Amino acid sequence: MLRVLTLATLFPDAVRPNFGVFVERQTLGLAALDDVEVRVVAPLGIPPFPLSLHPGYRTLSGLPQQEVWKGLAVDRPRFLNLPATQGRFHVAALVRRLVPHLTRLRARFAFDVIDAEFFFPDGPAAIELGKRLGVPVSIKARGADIHHWGYAPATARQVRAAGNAADGLLAVSQSMADDIAAAGIDRPVRVHRTGIDRTRFGGIDRATARQRLGITGPLVVSLGALIPRKGHRIVLDAVAALPGVGLWIVGGGPDHAALEARIAELGLGDRVKLTGPIAHGDLPDLLAAADVMALASSSEGLANAWVEALASGTPIVIPDAGAAREVVTLPAAGRIVAREASTFAQGIAAVLSQTVDPSATKDVVDAFSWERNAVELREHLRGLVAARRSV
């Protein structure tokens, strides 16, 4: 029996049900294997008083310390999150909180390996915890954990040290593996792709989905947090140049007011909708109904929004970021364009004008499977345990 401690600061909870759903789904798949036991530790960073009284942090503080989440045993210990320090002290605070917590936990769940699901702060903290507890550590890179934290002055050295000290490294794509090396981590990296829930994505008839959502004309969906890095403003300006094309911007975040003002400025209130966050369970209908999923991210690892759109038979228009060239391999998959409104408009128009068999679009991501993801993760972690025991 392989016993895995999954360490994930990126993990859903009752307050943020969409936060890290891909980590949740991966962990559920691993735990479903007969010869694996999993315990999740999903720490919550809470600032000191009086910032802890902010409504957002108060709701997080109210979450249970331990719970069963969709069948997974999840601990949610709190650690001190010091604002305005650019993450410099996150790892030290996390280790300080988790050493006693994991020491007690290991007395009743003798985990063999720590699986850190985000490179920062999970990775450096896992390395220190692994040393103290005598277990191997795997760290997975997903995108911003390398692209931001791996270069930020306050945290880059911690990221590099953790990567070079880990027993094993995973990346969501080959481009992400290359980015790990470029960040100064000279270690082999195993590509571990995300999966797709094919019971939900890909089995919905487009006409039925459009009728359910009341969609009548061409529709573009831009899906992701409302932050500058995701580039929703670029997609918005692109759609403004395409008469008769509608746009739904799906997500929540600090750019909401600015996007709302831009919609009013362009007079697009009848064509553009800011939906706010949509539950992950409601995305299959929307992605099946859309004609294009356009996301102008400045950086990505391998965006789940790309993969789920393609699995739904919906082509994507994206910049040449992250694993873009690993998924947009055929015209049926969409277009890779420059990160500018004019080229996004051209790319969207090109997709809308082509006749594409949705099955050809779905075939592009045929190899993406949660079942395969789980088996590959088990074999990776099992190999780390065996290597440690053979020393």
CB 226 within 8 A of CB 261: no
Residues 165 and 255 in one domain: no
Which residue shows structure tokens 């088990």?
Answer: 378
Considering the domain architecture, whether residues 229 and 344 belong to the same structural domain is answered as yes
User: Is residue 236 assigned to a domain?
Assistant: yes
233/256 same-domain check: yes
Domain for residue 353, yes or no?
Answer: yes
For the chain, percent of residues with pLDDT exceeding 70: 100
Same domain assignment for residues 146 and 240: no
DSSP letter for 366, please.
T
Write out pLDDT tens, residues 300-347.
989 999 999 999 999 999 999 989 999 999 999 999 999 999 999 999
- Is 200 domain-assigned? no
Torsion of CA 51, 53, 54, 60, to 10 degrees: 110
User: Does residue 104 form part of some domain?
Assistant: yes
pLDDT in tens, 163-219: 999 999 999 999 999 999 999 999 999 999 999 998 899 989 999 999 999 999 999
Helix (H) or strand (E) holding 122: helix 122-133
Cis bond leading into 50, ω under 30°?
yes
Q: In which domain, by residue range, is 187 found?
A: 2-195+369-390
What CA–CA distance (Å, rounded) separates 277 from 343? 27
Q: Which two tokens stand for residue 166?
A: 């880990």
**201 is a domain residue:** no
- The pLDDT-based confidence of 144 (bands split at 50, 70, 90) is confident
**Residue 120 included in any domain:** yes
Q: Looking at the structure, tell me whether residues 169 and 233 fall in a common domain.
A: no
Residue 164 counted as domain residue: yes
175 and 41 fall within a common domain: yes
Is 349 found in the same domain as 275? yes
Sheet of 113-116: strand order equals: 66-69, 72-75, 36-41, 2-7, 113-116, 137-141, 168-171, 190-191
Residue type (1 letter), 306:
W
Do residues 281 and 70 touch, judged by C-beta distance below 8 A?
no
86 domain residue, yes or no: yes
Residue 356 and residue 374 in one domain: no
Question: Does residue 143 sit in the same domain as residue 170?
Answer: yes
Q: Is the pLDDT of residue 221 over 80?
A: yes
Q: Are residues 116 and 264 in the same domain?
A: no
For the chain, how many structural domains are there in total?
A: 2
CATH of the domain at 244: 3.40.50.2000
| Global model pTM greater than 0.85 | yes
Instruction: Please tell me whether residues 6 and 138 are part of one structural domain.
Output: yes
* Average pLDDT of the segment spanning 19-28: 95
Q: 256 and 110: one domain?
A: no
From the centroid of its chain, how far is CA 292? 20
